[in-house]
Amino acid sequence: MTTTPLRKDAARNWERIVATARRYVDEGKPLQLNDVARAAATGVATVYRHFPTPEALLETVAAPALEELAEHAERALASADPWSALHEFLAAGIQVQLTDAAVRPVLAAATDALERTTELKDRVTGRFGRLLAHAHAAGAIDPGLSEADLTSLMCGIAYAVNVHPALAATDRAATGRRYLDVLLTGLRRP
């Protein structure tokens, strides 16, 4: 899909809006477009022109992390060791869920506001399915374990870590990795 480049002033406004939204998400504030417009020192109409819904803005904030996760999955597919590839991809997935507050609600949403979000989610889930299939084919993981099972377990790990809000971000990531290691040790086939 080709898009016309934004004028310089429109591009600056877009960047200010996204930066403000990023700050709101990081601070746990709701993305109310009028509030974002005020904080970004832009007109409300400008925000709505770029982002017709709060979901579209949230998906834009989450997009870099989703792109990184999709690229990680693609690199993992090139690995000769299906178990390590799956493990490292899942670790990256836990990491992004624990370090970017925009990702969890975007991944959990039943519908997407932006076509790009759907494309990214499809890339991630498609690669994840292939990584799991490779691990199954290699006999490295319980053959009865489905993508849905593993997705629910990953969400459970993220939830378990988030129950302890006093953990620093680095501690949360390390705790998530430790929980994942324990889980996958139980799921690995000898």
Question: So where are the chain's domains?
Answer: 1-52, 61-187
46 alpha-carbon distance from chain centroid: 27
Gyration radius of the chain's alpha carbons? 19
Quote the mean pLDDT of the chain.
Answer: 91
For helices 147-162 and 169-187, give the axis angle rounded to 10 degrees: 140
Query: Which CATH class, in words, describes the domain spanning 1-52?
Result: mainly alpha
Query: What pLDDT, on the 0 to 100 scale, is given for residue 76?
Result: 96
* Superfamily classification of domain 61-187: Tetracycline Repressor, domain 2 (1.10.357.10)
Query: What pLDDT, on the 0 to 100 scale, is given for residue 2?
Result: 39
The residues near 166 (Cβ < 8 Å, ≥ 6 apart) are none
Q: Which helix (H) or strand (E) holds 63?
A: helix 54-77
Q: Which of 48, 66, 65 is nearest to 57 (CA)?
A: 48
pLDDT tops 60 at residue 87: yes
pLDDT tops 50 at residue 174: yes
- Residues 29-59 pLDDT 10s: 999 999 999 999 999 999 999 999 999 999 9
